Amino acid sequence: MYKPEDFNVDTLGKCKIPNPLDLSQKIGDGVFNYIRDDERVLYDASLKSYNLHKKNGKIPISFEKSGPKEFIYYDPSKIRVAIVTCGGLCPGLNNVIRGLVMQLHRRYGVTRTIGIRYGYEGFIPSFKHDIIELTPELVEDIHTQGGSELGSSRGEQNVDEIVDALERMNVNILFAIGGDGTLRGAKAIKDEITKTGLKISVAG
């Protein structure tokens, strides 16, 4: 059974950098609003669940609403982002890679984004996979191609080695793209990062 704390999103600290998106906090001005920290989305939006929680006097389980915040943790001009695709191939992987690179570069001003080749294997030195510098020019047309521009692989890898690689490459944010296994791996990476006290974000 899920508990409310299962849906909490860990943070690295207070967000102090103004978001470069220049959105709005005013309702009704025709400009997309920043997401407030207290905005939540119900895990179970059914009437049955609502009535049950109301009857028991409990707060229903919810998770943090996604979207741009007014302040962010990292200075986009100074960070390095890594993207990895793992597991079986599926339609849309290149669209996600392209979308991330374009948004990071054109909207946030992130100029250093790398692609990790062949899934979590790409972090392990013994596999000797190269990394790719992902630029808007490189990813411009990849959404017209199948598969993943970065390649993929299945199976677990040593989490300690992955975190060591992230630190060695000065990665601040890791985007892990894939299914259940990929996200379990991302959580294991995040847990190891937390244990070591590094300031690295993991998103899946």
Q: Is the Cβ–Cβ distance between 49 and 2 less than 8 Å?
A: no
Most distant CA pair in the chain: distance in Å? 58
- Which stretches in the chain have pLDDT values below 50? none
Q: Which domains does the chain have, with CATH numbers?
A: 4-64 (no CATH), 75-203 (3.40.50.450)
Q: Hey, which bits of 51-178 come out as E strands?
A: 62-64, 71-72, 81-85, 113-116, 131-133, 173-177
pLDDT of residue 139: 98
The CA angle 114-119-121, to the nearest 5 degrees, is 100
pLDDT of residue 69: 95
pLDDT in tens, 58-72: 888 999 999 999 999
Identify the CA nearest to 189 among candidates 114, 171, 92, 133.
171
Output the average pLDDT for the chain. 94
pLDDT of residue 131: 96
pLDDT in tens, 155-178: 899 999 999 999 999 999 999 999
Q: Using the structure block, give the residue that is written with the tokens 């294997």.
A: 121
